[in-house]
Amino acid sequence: MANGINGGLCMVYLGTFAAKTEIVGQGDATITHGGAPIELNNKSSGGWRVNLDGSVSTKSMDIAVDFTVSDDASVQALITAAFAGTADTYTMDFVDYHYEGTFTPVISTETAAKDTATTISVTFQSSGEIVRTAV
């Protein structure tokens, strides 16, 4: 029987896998993979979709992460980078494998509900090739 991966151990880090820096206050994370096969439809395909083998157009990856806002330097640096639109190297560690590449953090929401900690939702949008590496 295969073992699952504990989602609580999956983290986004600033930097490469070899030289990563933790960003404090992480909660739930979701990765969205983008891209679509390139279609080669023509009259000879008889109306059927035909895809170019081994090719995907406009590959992308968005990593959405909820954070508890604090005065920790790592969170404040992330907020500053998001407001400035600064791209940097980030790593998403899934214990058995990780994704690494250039991402631009974007704050999508800030929540300040009564009697709860303030949170932000940050989407790390890929820029260029993202590498998946088994550990």
d(CA 34, CA 30): 13
What CATH number should be reported for the domain whose range is 7-134? 4.10.410
Q: Determine which of 58-62, 79-83, 103-107 has the lowest per-residue pLDDT on average.
A: 58-62
Instruction: Identify the bridge partners of residue 57 per DSSP, sorted by sequence position.
Output: 36
Mean per-residue pLDDT for 38-50?
Answer: 85
Residue 45, pLDDT score? 84
Q: Is the pLDDT of residue 129 over 90?
A: yes
The answer to whether residues 49 and 55 touch, using CB atoms and an 8 Å cutoff, is no
Domain ranges of the chain: 7-134
pTM surpassing 0.75?
yes
Residue 118, pLDDT score? 92
The answer to whether residues 56 and 36 touch, using CB atoms and an 8 Å cutoff, is yes
